[in-house]
Amino acid sequence: METAINIPLREKKVVSDGVIGMIFVLATEAMFFSGLISAFVINRAGAMVWPPADQPRLPIEVTAVNTLVLLASAVTLFLFGRQVKNNRKSNTLLITTIILGLTFLTVQGTEWVKLIGYGLTAHSSLFGAFFYTLIGVHGLHVIAGLLVLFYLAASLTKTISLEALRNKVAACSMYWYFVVAVWPVLYILVYLQ
């Protein structure tokens, strides 16, 4: 008499747990930024003059170039992801992405210091409060995104399966793409009023 033993085969997941988790994180982040942007738009619409005449003008040109730097970081990360999909683990493009992100953050920080020196503070006007809240929250997200990219770079040195690496690249890339995608919206709304 023979008995059949059924051993369940491990099915390959269509979407990794990390990607599903990141979708939930990004949905929450999208709602958070939507709330901040909505409050900004409503207050701007209700103001007689926006920005107030006594407040310094924002550095539109420098920030436009800095926007291109951040957008370029998304391109280099995309190219890095394609390399990983093609079974190559060169970290040059990932390092370039991190450098571009750090450059964006440094330029933003330098501009903040200048604006504070010119009198634009969170206490100087509602405009200043919204500027530092919106741009500051985005800056914190850039810092978090850079930490995610550093984590991803550290993962390249470990011996993990190619599938696990691809899943990490997918989840980490989603976060960085979100941070990059939010910035042009903020730039248009806040800088190009």
Q: pLDDT (tens digit, 9 = 90+) per residue, 17-31?
A: 899 999 999 999 999
CATH code where residue 101 lies: 1.20.120.80
Structural domain boundaries, residue 23: 17-191
* Structural domain count, the chain: 1
Cα dihedral value 102, 67, 183, 165, nearest 10: -50
Looking at the predicted structure, is the pLDDT value of residue 7 above 70?
no
Instruction: Give the whole-angstrom CA distance, residue 145 versus residue 143.
Output: 5
5 in a structural domain: no
89 in a structural domain: yes
pLDDT at position 163: 86
- CA nearest 79: which of 96, 64, 67? 96
pLDDT at position 55: 86
pLDDT at position 9: 59
Asked if residue 120 lies in contact with residue 53, where contact means CB atoms within 8 angstroms, the answer is: no
Looking at the predicted structure, is the pLDDT value of residue 97 above 90?
yes
Long-range CB contact pairs, 45-49, < 8 A, 24+: 47/126, 47/127
pLDDT at position 193: 75
3 in a structural domain: no
What secondary structure letter does DSSP report for 191?
I
For 150, other C-beta atoms within 10 Å of its C-beta total 14
175 in a structural domain: yes
**pTM of the entire structure?**
0.89
156-163: average pLDDT? 81
23 in a structural domain: yes
9 in a structural domain: no
How sure is the predictor about 89, in pLDDT bands with cuts at 50, 70 and 90?
confident
6 in a structural domain: no
pLDDT at position 76: 97
pLDDT at position 159: 67
pLDDT at position 67: 97
106-119: average pLDDT? 95
34-61: average pLDDT? 92
